[in-house]
Amino acid sequence: MLMRIFRVVFLMIGLFSLLSSQLVSAKQIYRWVGEDGEVYFSDQIRPKDAKHSRASLSKTGRVLEITEEAKTKEQQEQDKRLEELRKEADELIAHQKIYDKALLSTYNSKEEMLLAIHAKTEMLNKQKNIIEGNLSRFTEQLAKQQKEASNFEQIKQPVPESLSDELALIHHRIEYTNEALSKQIEKQAQIKKIDESDVARFLFLTQSSNDLLPKARIPSIQEANELGLFYCENDHECKKAWEIGGVFVKTHSTTATDIYNEKLIMNRPPPKDSDISLSLSKLAVNDDDYQLFLDIRCRDSLLGNELCASKKVENIRSSFRAYVNDVLSRDALSSKVPTP
């Protein structure tokens, strides 16, 4: 009986050893994303695929190890620059979220918001009317004083010094009041633009179904392509490029628009591993110049990270500047064509 027990034990030990050796000798499975953005699985890594980051998987599909793609010094520098740009863009996003929260906590409805805007507009119009009234009064005073000065000139007598001083003073008042009126008109136009943007944003937030680095330097063409940058040469070009960039973001994103204003266009975060979400930020180069930064985000997962590191995403980013320039050039040419 004891001999039979020993034979069963030895038999089980041998069987276990055999299964273990088979498991050890089993080939490793690798997963990576190719240049075309597709996901590949294989037990061998071909030399041409060795440059891609890859994950080694267990038989159950569990990730055992991740081998990152080797990067050159230039690529590391570009990654650093991209991270700096993303930091500045993230600050814009964070600011927008704070602004959204303030909008929602200040107003309960569109009607309440419009009433507040109307009251503010009435107050601004009263300020403008006061300035215009002062300007009208000063103009009448000037006409009266000029007539007095003309009377002295007609009888060939010198204009009294006191009258000359009054004329100089009224000219100064009219000049100052004209400047104040221009500033008031500009202020009201800016406030109206902000108010219209706030109303549109408030409606989007309430009707939706879902809940700084130092001043940037002007990038080279190669750097701009690799980072997704477009440098604006003037305000008019920047405004047109912003509209074109908005079309580009909408075309290449697989998620819906979340934010759209003068400084930030951002689509919603990617819910799936195959989704791509684009954002466009208007970043200052200096006091007068701006550059547009296109960022691409994928889901925070292994496959999502692999997708963002793929050639497909790289091609989207590198084509941004050329796309904007192409549309700008075609628009410029069409505007020069004479109408029959």
- Which CATH number does the domain housing residue 144 bear? 1.10.287
Token pair recorded at residue 60:
């159950």
Determine, yes or no, domain membership for 8. Answer: no
Determine, yes or no, domain membership for 14. Answer: no
Element (H, E) at 298: strand 290-298
Residues 147 and 194 in one domain: yes
Q: Is 257 exposed, middle or buried (0-12, 13-18, 19+ CB in 10 A)?
A: middle
Determine, yes or no, domain membership for 160. Answer: yes
Residues 226 and 324 in one domain: yes
Determine, yes or no, domain membership for 308. Answer: yes
What does the pLDDT read at residue 204? Answer: 74
Alpha carbon of 88 to those of 186, 240, 241, 257: distances in Å?
A: 29, 22, 20, 20
What does the pLDDT read at residue 218? Answer: 54
Residues 238 and 221 in one domain: yes
What does the pLDDT read at residue 12? Answer: 47
Determine, yes or no, domain membership for 44. Answer: yes
Residues 30 and 90 in one domain: no
Residues 85 and 222 in one domain: yes
Residues 181 and 311 in one domain: no
The domain boundary, picked from 207, 232, 263, lies at: 207
Mean pLDDT of successive 10-residue stretches along the chain, which has 340 residues? 45 46 55 72 72 68 66 75 81 84 87 90 94 94 89 86 89 94 92 85 68 46 76 84 93 91 88 93 76 90 85 90 89 61
Residues 226 and 78 in one domain: yes
What does the pLDDT read at residue 249? Answer: 94
The domain boundary, picked from 185, 207, 229, lies at: 207
What does the pLDDT read at residue 67? Answer: 67
The domain boundary, picked from 207, 228, 258, lies at: 207
What are the percentages of helix, strand and coil residues in the chain, rounded to 5?
60, 15, 25
Cα 283 to Cα 305: distance, rounded to the nearest angstrom: 25
Helix (H, G, I), strand (E, B) or coil at 62: coil
Determine, yes or no, domain membership for 10. Answer: no
Containing structural domain, residue 60: 24-69
Residues 83 and 128 in one domain: no
Cα 50 to Cα 62: distance, rounded to the nearest angstrom: 21
Cα 206 to Cα 218: distance, rounded to the nearest angstrom: 39
Determine, yes or no, domain membership for 11. Answer: no
What does the pLDDT read at residue 132? Answer: 94
Residues 220 and 324 in one domain: yes
Q: How far is CA 124 from the centre of its chain?
A: 32
Residue 270 sits in a domain whose CATH number is 3.30.310
How many domains would you assign to the chain? 3
Determine, yes or no, domain membership for 5. Answer: no
Residues 128 and 256 in one domain: no
Residues 164 and 39 in one domain: no
Sheet holding 54-57, edge to edge: 39-42, 29-33, 54-57, 63-67
Residues 222 and 317 in one domain: yes
Q: Token match 């006061």: residue? A: 130
